[in-house]
Structure 1
């Protein structure tokens, strides 16, 4: 378990894009008194958020392959996955890549032929590396099946200079059982690895600290429904286990949050502090703990749009008539 001070630097963010001509006409000038006033608010909010974060109990962030724990002014790292996770996931991508590349095609164009030729070399090299990876016998045989079938498809398509959609459909549907088994093994690797890391940390916490423990999961929007780490933390921290997370309920009382499209450590932990600060602020100003969990303009926008288009919002899972 690696340890370093909480204030350790993070990877630098890329510089922001310069504002467009339109953006410059809309934005307030930096020297505008109202712009300066707004920046003072932002600075005060950021300072308060840092103070909230510093007083919180232990917090864990899962960012890609790493778990990060902040506790008692210290920072610790532990693995969230092993290399086995990436082996299963990468080989699973091969048939998917071929299906994406060849879907809606008949005769090959030069770009597709070049890509297939490149993939053939990569598949062959990967196939040759399988024996030395220490995979269980059943899993090893499965990876061979996936790569061998993919290689056979590539060779057949290159030789014929074409592919029928019936051939492509038969290829990918025959791979589905092995693809899903790879997905299961990758999920098991992540869950087992996370559980070992988190339990080791929890053994070093007091009962009060375990009761205060929160977690944030860095995830892109597309990977968020049913996110493995979010499901795991929900169970181990005693939140409602929502499974597929189709309608994730980010209430202030929750101890597990998803940070969409956030892959840096400061932003992930800032989300937790923002969640707590906004809940307290909402309660004090609006008498509603969740008011600032949604856009402050949201209720007004709903009323305006309902009047403009003579309609009303539809409950989740229903479609407009």
Structure 2
């Protein structure tokens, strides 16, 4: 069995390391306290910290969630049924039966949600098509891949329109909130304004809030693309897999403090944004495997085929 190699808590090196962490945390809090206004987007809420005060405003409305949940229904059915090669197994049949009742109840509730007429009709189409598939599959106790493919491809136009309406709801809601806050700021404060966006790692590329803040704060705008910008912006930060308010703001403080520290020590502002071991690891691996890394988007067809 492999033994633990971590230092014991009483080891002088452990104590020294904790002293470093404590000093760093204290310095980070000092940086945050002197920073200009900062906005964090965490789920449905925008949080502004300015001049020692905290303010909240909406980032989305309930329409956003209505579009999102209805869109999940055909996607869930596709995921659930894609692996069914023969008759339905008991677990799948039970899940379909449960989903049938939930789809029916959701369709009944849809008219009271205040959606625009066109959007309301779209939600009913998606739910009705999903219910029809569930009924057909339960009756036959099986599903063909052709049947499933025909179903999901027919829903794509409505799914993409739901995605557009969701994005518009969030952008319009955020913009109204942010502009109201900015009207109460001085020109200097608006110039200092930063933002941190809480997002899961999978959703970060093209994240709606990150795109919005990048444009409204004049930062680097990456749009929907996932390639890392070699010169990333400085006013918008994605807080990946962090949905806790103190952690999100602490990450922003870390980002600013690391940039200052990195510039002072290495003469390169983004050096500490990479793993401190990254450059050495790249050299060691290049020598070990007789190859070299490729920047995002430059992989050749041959290398992709070999992979």
Q: TM (normalized to structure 2)?
A: 0.95
Segments of 4+ moved more than 4 angstroms: 250-253
> Aligned residue for 1:287?
267
Once residues 107 and 315 of structure 1 are traced to their aligned partners in structure 2, the CA distance between those partners, rounded to angstroms, is: 47
Contact 1:252 1:279 in 2 (8 A): no
Structure 1 pair 317/235, CA: closer, same or farther in 2 (3 Å)? same
Partner of residue 4, structure 1: none
Q: How many residues in Structure 1 have an aligned counterpart in Structure 2?
A: 300
Please give the secondary structure, in 1, of the residue aligned with 2:151. helix
Give unpaired runs (5+ residues) of structure 1.
Answer: 1-20
* 1:99 aligned residue: 78
Shift of 1:253: 5.3
Helix, strand or coil: the match of 1:25? coil
Render the CA deviation track for 1:132-156: whole Å, top value 9, x for unaligned: 1111111111011000000000000
Q: Deviations over 1:209-250 (max 9, x none)?
A: 000000010101100010000000001001122101412438
Q: CA contact under 8 A between 1:252 and 1:276: conserved in structure 2?
A: no
> Per-residue CA shift, 1:264-314, capped at 9, x if unaligned?
011111121111111111111111111111111111111111111111111
- Within-5 A mapping of 1:108-119: 108-119=88-99
Query: Take 1:302 and 1:240, find their aligned partners in 2: how far apart are those partners?
Result: 27
Partner of 2:254: 274
* Match of residue 18 from structure 1: none
Q: Out of 281-290 and 54-63, give the one that drifted further.
A: 281-290
1:248-259 matched pairs, under 5 angstroms: 248-249=228-229, 254-259=234-239
Match of 1:52 in 2: 31
CA shift for structure 1 position 316: 1.1
Root mean square deviation, CA, Å: 1.4
Aligned to 2:120, which of 110, 135, 140? 140
Match of 1:159 in 2: 139
Distance 1:306 1:293 in 2: 21
Instruction: Provide, for residues 94-125 of structure 1, a one-character-per-residue CA deviation record: whole Å limited to 9, x for no partner.
Output: 00000000002131000000000000000000
Match of 1:178 among 154, 158, 175: 158
Unaligned runs of 5+ in 2: none
